[in-house]
Chains A and B, each alone.
Chain A
Amino acid sequence: MSDEIDLAKYTKLFVAEAREYLRTLNKAMVEFESRPDDTDMVEVMFRACHTDKGMAGMMNLTPISETAHALEDLLNSVRERKIKPEGEVAELIYRCLDTLEEMITSVERAEELSEVPGLNDDLRDAARGGRRRKKKKGAAVKAVREKTLKTSPPAKRTVLFIRFSRRCSFPAARSFVILKEVARAATIHGTVPSEEEIDKEHVFEELSITLEPEKGFDETVRRIASMLDIDEIKVGEEGVPVDRWKRIVAAKPSAPQAVDLPAAQTIKVGMNKLDELLDDVSELVIARSRLVEKTTSHDDRELTDITSHIDKLTSEIQAKVLGIRMIQIESVMARFPRMIRDIAKNQGKEIEFTVDGGSIELDRTVIDKISDPIMHVLRNCVDHGIESKKERKKTKKRIRGHIRVVASKQQDHVLIEISDDGRGIDYDTIREKAVDAGLLTREQADDALARDLMELLFHPGFSTKKEVSQVSGRGVGLDVVRRAVEDLGGSVMISSSKGAGTTFSLWLPFTLAIIDAMLVSIADQTYAVPMGMIAESHRFQTSEVKTIRTREVVQLRGEVIPLIRMRSFFGIPEANDRSTLSALVVQSRERRAALAVDDLMAHQQIVVKSLDDHLRRVRGVSGGTILGSGRIALILDVDSILEA
């Protein structure tokens, strides 16, 4: 196998995983700091730290595994209530987490890793709380190991047998590291499983290497023995019965039993593979609708059966592929508690951060793209929203501010509300700023309504903060937030009341790829309307259309709703000779309207394709899809039509 490529592959995997564990650690630490009695948090941290150590050990990244080990010891002392995670100890833990983050970044950049002088000692000192205990035990273990190793392996054709522990999550990666080690001190004749099989990442628990030992082989075996996740190493001569081989490692002494994680029944798949799969499924969905169309024009019983079977299977495959891509919102949130804590601390504020509805899932592409916008909003809340402790005291608020994220499902959207209980938005300040920045004249500013003033907050380069701070207040942020969210087909709204806080509402689609839609025709062209926006379809008599002021309306079960004729929306002359109007009653958030179209055609799943830069800003359409016939149906953008 080619060393560089493989190592790079596992390194990437390691970096991604290690970052995830670090986020968990940071998040748990922030929570633990605010609720020191919550021993569950220590468990969470302990486990994350332990796994991190294991992974680093597996990759032979000694500085990381050593530091993680020292942190694990410290956490153990916390768990046993020997020390409290406050003040200096807490700072030390955060410092350690930052160091680990830096080390992981170095690994990612393929830089040389080095230990941070003193940190591990500091951690161990803190863990001991004055007593010397661990050290001794560690030394004893080492001595035992060395003694076992004195019985050196024979110098002929030798077999090195390694059994991995069940906890070992990537035996292939581990084997790879081992083979590299062994190759330095022996000639390898063969392995079971073969290198090819290892490369394909088959699941296995045992590895045998047939080899001819060279100088330094003992040392190599010792190094392998010190790796984690190995239950047993045996060395023997070819042909000699296995039970007479020498055992080098019987069992691992270090890891406490409590952290034995159940072996996860999961595999890791690269996101690009899922993207490719989704592309194929999209093609399949289009081919399926062509097949269905064709079948209906043939009177063939067998063909109909086959088609309906394929139809059903396609739907299932599609649902599953989309399902695989769904990720919990929680996964983006994990990085924020620490960020908020640090900024708050820096500004002398105290902030509690909570997340509700973190288990709601969104498509991976959506998740990837909202992470930064959410971070901008949160920074805004910390920086502009929550007041200083002094100010809060003066206004008789709870000293500790609260930033809350609530995610919920709404029709075909996910709503993420981010609120703070801070000072709220001061409209007069916005007015002043707008005039200063030359965005509004004095008169315009005085006349401006709240929602127009809110709108200014999204203006590039607009900031209400008096001084430019390190965090936000440079005017970068909210305009970026809006653009990112709108690019996803979502929208942002701010509401605020002075003194009581501000809420940012982000409306996001679940998925971007395949949606349910109603096909309609408007002036001989086919359009698709996302089902999630449709409340119902209805046929109105033209005589039912009334005019209120200049706008046409219809009544549906007593409710008066605006009528939007799609032909006139698109600037196409109306067909006059109609006595009825086919309409879709659409709904977006609180707004409803009846969209009059020429005809309702069919309900179908469509693959959403984007329009390029020339057309992205056109109102009324948000994208397109390719129908079974190869023709294009544009997707109606209900939001922008309702705004008109």
Chain B
Amino acid sequence: MTNGFETRQYIAFKLGEEEFAFDIASVKEIFPTQNITKVHRSPEYIEGVMNLRGRLVTVIDLRKRFRLEAAAADENSRIIVIDSRDAPVGFLVDEVTEVAKIGADSIEPVPAYVAEGIESEYVLGIAKIEERLITLVDPMKILELSSDDARTNGGGSVGDSPGR
């Protein structure tokens, strides 16, 4: 607690030069990139599936999800696994920078304009720490919107008859 404001812990990570963070409470595990199996014909932002102790876990490329410039994964890349409502989901990020303690007093509300490509719905606020600006994102919100997408866009089979 600082000055009576609540301080929470966040997992800060980078996508290109920009810094983002998830509330630590929503993060289950962090892995170095391992074998990710590509799923062809899936929505573009889905990197593939990985084997998490016998479960198939979908990995979402957060760069693509935020419509940032694509980049190949390297040794710094990490998969942040979030425990979502029905199944864990992984987010591929460029680099996990730190566990940041951020007080509520240093979080600014979302400005009317937001970083290009990032729908304002995901963004909880912008934290200012010294010279750094960290965008706080709600991973659950990203998932909600992603599944809706997958259902409407990727769901070519919905309207087709199975009987033909």
Chain A residues within CB distance 8 Å of chain B: 283, 286, 451, 454-455, 482, 486, 491-494, 505, 525, 569-572, 609-621, 623-624, 626, 630-634, 639-640, 643
Set B57, B154, B159, B163: member contacting A492, Cβ < 8 A: B163
CA of A494 to CA of B49, assembled, Å: 36
Q: Which of B31-39, B109-117, B128-136 contacts A (4 or more CB under 8 A)?
A: B31-39
Main SS class of interface, A: mixed
Q: Shortest CB–CB separation between residue B147 and chain A, in angstroms?
A: 5
Q: Shortest CB–CB separation between residue B62 and chain A, in angstroms?
A: 14
Q: If A613-B86, A613-B147 touch, does A634 touch B39 (CB 8 Å cutoff)?
A: yes
| Docked-complex contact A610 and B46, CB < 8 angstroms | no
CA of A283 to CA of B54, assembled, Å: 8
| Docked-complex contact A571 and B40, CB < 8 angstroms | yes
Q: List 10 A-B contacts (CB under 8 A).
A: A493-B163, A609-B56, A612-B56, A613-B87, A614-B146, A614-B147, A624-B56, A626-B54, A630-B35, A640-B157
B87: chain A residues at CB < 8 Å are 612-613
**Residue-by-residue, is B135-164 near A (CB-CB < 8 Å gives 1, otherwise 0)?**
000000000001100110011111111111
CA of A570 to CA of B41, assembled, Å: 6
B126 within 8 A of A: no
| Docked-complex contact A631 and B51, CB < 8 angstroms | yes
Greatest chain B CB density within 10 A among A572, A609, A618 is at A618
Set B50, B150, B159: member contacting A615, Cβ < 8 A: B150
| Docked-complex contact A451 and B50, CB < 8 angstroms | no
| Docked-complex contact B150 and A643, CB < 8 angstroms | no
Lowest 5 A-B CB distances belong to which pairs?
A493-B163, A491-B162, A570-B40, A617-B155, A632-B37
| Docked-complex contact A611 and B37, CB < 8 angstroms | no
A505: chain B residues at CB < 8 Å are 163
| Docked-complex contact B163 and A451, CB < 8 angstroms | yes
B106 within 8 A of A: no
| Docked-complex contact A455 and B161, CB < 8 angstroms | yes
| Docked-complex contact A615 and B161, CB < 8 angstroms | no
| Docked-complex contact A610 and B56, CB < 8 angstroms | yes
Set B42, B51, B163: member contacting A491, Cβ < 8 A: B163
Known A571-B40, A612-B57, A617-B157; further 4 A-B contacts with Cβ < 8 A: A525-B38, A610-B56, A612-B89, A632-B50
A615: chain B residues at CB < 8 Å are 39, 42, 46, 49, 58, 150
Q: Shortest CB–CB separation between residue B60 and chain A, in angstroms?
A: 7
**B18-55 interface (Cβ within 8 A of A):** 35, 37-43, 46, 49-51, 54-55
A454: chain B residues at CB < 8 Å are 161, 163
B46: chain A residues at CB < 8 Å are 614-615
Q: Shortest CB–CB separation between residue A214 and chain B, in angstroms?
A: 56
A571: chain B residues at CB < 8 Å are 40-41
Set A283, A611, A631, A634: member contacting B58, Cβ < 8 A: A611
Q: Shortest CB–CB separation between residue B10 and chain A, in angstroms?
A: 24
A617: chain B residues at CB < 8 Å are 150-151, 154-158
| Docked-complex contact A643 and B89, CB < 8 angstroms | no
B162: chain A residues at CB < 8 Å are 482, 486, 491-493, 639, 643
| Docked-complex contact B150 and A613, CB < 8 angstroms | yes
Q: Which chain A residue has the least Cβ–Cβ distance from B148?
A: A613
B43: chain A residues at CB < 8 Å are 614
CA of A617 to CA of B58, assembled, Å: 13
| Docked-complex contact B157 and A626, CB < 8 angstroms | no
Q: Shortest CB–CB separation between residue A590 and chain B, in angstroms?
A: 10
Interface size range on B against A: 35 or more
Q: Which chain B residue has the least Cβ–Cβ distance from A486?
A: B162
A286: chain B residues at CB < 8 Å are 54
Q: If A612-B58, A613-B147, A614-B89 touch, does A632 touch B49 (CB 8 Å cutoff)?
A: yes
B164: chain A residues at CB < 8 Å are 451, 643
Q: Which chain B residue has the least Cβ–Cβ distance from A459?
A: B159
CA of A286 to CA of B53, assembled, Å: 12
Set B37, B86, B151: member contacting A525, Cβ < 8 A: B37
Q: Which chain A residue has the least Cβ–Cβ distance from B158?
A: A617
| Docked-complex contact B56 and A631, CB < 8 angstroms | no
| Docked-complex contact A619 and B56, CB < 8 angstroms | no
B55: chain A residues at CB < 8 Å are 609
| Docked-complex contact B41 and A618, CB < 8 angstroms | yes
B40: chain A residues at CB < 8 Å are 569-572, 620
Q: Which chain B residue has the least Cβ–Cβ distance from A626?
A: B51
Greatest chain A CB density within 10 A among B56, B87, B158 is at B56
CA of A640 to CA of B46, assembled, Å: 20
A612: chain B residues at CB < 8 Å are 56-58, 86-87, 89
| Docked-complex contact A624 and B154, CB < 8 angstroms | no
CA of A246 to CA of B151, assembled, Å: 75
Greatest chain A CB density within 10 A among B39, B40, B58, B86 is at B40
| Docked-complex contact B49 and A611, CB < 8 angstroms | yes
Set A493, A624, A643: member contacting B49, Cβ < 8 A: A624
Q: Which chain B residue has the least Cβ–Cβ distance from A618?
A: B42
Q: Shortest CB–CB separation between residue B63 and chain A, in angstroms?
A: 17
Q: Which chain A residue has the least Cβ–Cβ distance from B151?
A: A617
B147: chain A residues at CB < 8 Å are 613-614
CA of A494 to CA of B50, assembled, Å: 39
**Residue-by-residue, is B55-98 near A (CB-CB < 8 Å gives 1, otherwise 0)?**
11110100000000000000000000000001101000000000
Q: Which chain B residue has the least Cβ–Cβ distance from A567?
A: B40
A609: chain B residues at CB < 8 Å are 54-56
Greatest chain B CB density within 10 A among A454, A610, A613 is at A613
| Docked-complex contact B41 and A614, CB < 8 angstroms | no
CA of A616 to CA of B43, assembled, Å: 11
CA of A494 to CA of B161, assembled, Å: 10
A633: chain B residues at CB < 8 Å are 37
| Docked-complex contact B156 and A619, CB < 8 angstroms | yes
| Docked-complex contact A494 and B163, CB < 8 angstroms | yes
Q: Shortest CB–CB separation between residue A337 and chain B, in angstroms?
A: 28
CA of A337 to CA of B48, assembled, Å: 48
CA of A205 to CA of B163, assembled, Å: 57
CA of A239 to CA of B135, assembled, Å: 84
| Docked-complex contact A631 and B37, CB < 8 angstroms | yes
CA of A611 to CA of B40, assembled, Å: 13
| Docked-complex contact B50 and A620, CB < 8 angstroms | no
Set A494, A614, A626, A643: member contacting B42, Cβ < 8 A: A614
| Docked-complex contact A643 and B160, CB < 8 angstroms | yes
| Docked-complex contact A614 and B163, CB < 8 angstroms | no
CA of A417 to CA of B60, assembled, Å: 41
Q: If A631-B37, A634-B39 touch, does A619 touch B51 (CB 8 Å cutoff)?
A: no
CA of A609 to CA of B146, assembled, Å: 21
CA of A537 to CA of B67, assembled, Å: 43
Q: Which chain B residue has the least Cβ–Cβ distance from A633?
A: B37
CA of A623 to CA of B21, assembled, Å: 32
A283: chain B residues at CB < 8 Å are 54
Set B56, B154, B160, B163: member contacting A618, Cβ < 8 A: B154
Set B37, B86, B155, B156: member contacting A624, Cβ < 8 A: B37
A491: chain B residues at CB < 8 Å are 162-163
B49: chain A residues at CB < 8 Å are 611, 615, 624, 632, 634
B37: chain A residues at CB < 8 Å are 525, 624, 631-634
Q: Which chain B residue has the least Cβ–Cβ distance from A570?
A: B40
Q: Shortest CB–CB separation between residue A465 and chain B, in angstroms?
A: 22
Q: Which chain B residue has the least Cβ–Cβ distance from A493?
A: B163
Set B38, B41, B89: member contacting A620, Cβ < 8 A: B41
Q: Shortest CB–CB separation between residue B153 and chain A, in angstroms?
A: 9
